[in-house]
Amino acid sequence: MTKEDSALIRGLEGVVAAETRLCDLDGKNGRLAYVGYDIDELARKATFEEVTYLLLYGELPKAAQLDAFTVALTAAREIPRELTQAFRLMPKATDPMRVLQAAVATLGMSDPDTTDNSHAANVRKAIRLTSQIATAICAHHRVRSGQEPVAPAAGLGHAANFLYMLTGQRPGGAAVKAFDASLTLYAEHELNASTFTTRTIVSTQSDMHSAVAGGVGALKGPLHGGAGEAVMRTLMEIGEVASVDAFTEKALAAKRRLMGFGHRVYKAGDPRAAILRGMAEQACRESGQFQWYQIAVKLHERIGGAKGLIPNVDFYSAPLFYSLAIPVDLFTPVIAAGRIAGWSANIIEQHDDNRLIRPRAEYVGPGRRAFVDITKR
């Protein structure tokens, strides 16, 4: 395709590629809603289970519906024994996101609905994957740390069970609430790179596990899900509040790119960041890790004052996750544990009203040339 045929829009920025009933993202005014419900209310008042139900079914559940849904999620937590054995064979230094991608593909090998792309089958797969991804992340971490996986606890909700399987300790109420809210804040975000990847994959009539594995691969990049890890490593590099000023001056002089600031879509600030900031403050205080929150706040002030940049959701999720004893290289898998709700809902939406996603590219290579035989080149 040439310039005369169509205008080039690098990165597809601003291009509307799909209709959705799932996510209303108002970048101009800094607002976000899932199926009509403001993200602030969902993060503060609803559980991740309720939000997942909302994305899959289009309505918040009634009490009986939530009970049944929770039972289904709880029943789906176990992962195949063969997958845990595979974790033991993997190099311990393997990136957890690469392991998660392989785990999702492996789960597709044993799912009873793996090749069934009907609406009902996709909902069943979505429920199973939401629970199994959490278990897989925690089981692999335990195995690579030389520990035995912790079996899921039937009496714990999704967020509490994740932290329990990860650490082997039952978490406190404040930690559970903060982690549950973070899963909700990451659950859905319109056509971000990973979600667009999942929709592109299933637009070929591929299956949910293949699409989610592709989504994990897209989320792995530092310009998408990996930003939170980079933020925490920056905070650890700074080390103490007193060092923020010197670090900022040096970083600005070197024109160093600092992750966790700015957003492609939000122009008035990421509404999720403001919610996480308050939760991070409380969690860091209670865990004895308050210095990371203090460093983050001061860095926010210095970079904001110098460059006018506003933190995005990944900036304050970093000290929050770290205060919950989540290892830095598990920050992105944790985002996947929340985003599976949105990925699966988008996959279902794409399958229900599908058109193959096939954009064009503008050719900028050499003009047409005559072929030259190898003996004359």
What CATH number is attached to the domain comprising 243? 1.10.230.10
CATH number at residue 124: 1.10.580.10
Categorize the per-residue pLDDT at 6 as very low, low, confident or very high, splitting at 50, 70 and 90: low
- The string of pLDDT tens digits covering residues 269-286 is 788 998 999 889 988 998
Which region among 61-65, 193-197, 332-336, 361-365 has the lowest average model confidence (pLDDT)? 361-365
pLDDT tens track for 196-215: 999 999 999 999 999 999 99
* Domain identity same for 216 and 166: yes
Backbone angles phi, psi at 240, to 5 degrees: -150, 155
**How many domains does the chain divide into?**
2
Structural domain boundaries enclosing 105: 23-221+330-352
Same domain for 297 and 152? no
pLDDT at 107 over 60: yes
The burial of 174, by beta-carbon neighbours within 10 Å (0-12 exposed, 13-18 middle, 19 or more buried), is given as middle
Answer whether residue 238 is part of any domain: yes
73 inside domain: yes
Angstrom distances, CA of residue 212 to CA of 126, 185, 202, 343? 10, 19, 10, 7
Same domain, 303 and 196: no
pLDDT at 4: 54
Alpha carbons within 13 angstroms on the beta-carbon side of residue 262 total: 9
Tell me whether residue 357 is in a domain.
no
Q: What is the mean pLDDT of residues 342-364?
A: 94
Mean pLDDT taken over the chain: 93
Model confidence band, residue 15 (pLDDT cutoffs 50, 70, 90): confident
Question: Which pLDDT tens digit goes with each residue over 31-77?
Answer: 999 999 999 999 999 999 999 999 999 999 999 999 999 999 999 99
- Per-residue confidence band for 3, with pLDDT thresholds at 50, 70 and 90: low
Is 60 exceeded by the pLDDT of residue 5? no
| Same domain assignment for residues 70 and 217 | yes
What per-residue confidence (pLDDT) applies to 267?
A: 72
pLDDT at 14 over 80: no
Angle formed by the axes of helices 244-253 and 290-307, to 10°? Answer: 40
Contact assessment for residue 208 and residue 344, using Cβ atoms and an 8 Å cutoff: yes
Asked if residue 34 is part of any domain, the answer here is yes
What lies within 8 Å, CB to CB, of 223 at 6+ separation is 193
Residues 215 and 270 in one domain: no
Name which of 20, 93, 11, 127 is nearest 350 in CA terms: 20
pLDDT bucket at 111, cuts 50 / 70 / 90:
very high
pTM for the full model?
Answer: 0.92
Residues 261 and 188 in one domain: no
The pLDDT > 90 percentage for the chain reads 79
Is residue 141 domain-shared with residue 268, that is, in the same domain?
no
- Is residue 153 a part of any domain in this protein? yes
Residues 108 and 190 both lie in one domain: yes
Position 107 in a domain: yes
- Positions marked catalytic: 263, 314
User: Is residue 360 domain-resident?
Assistant: no
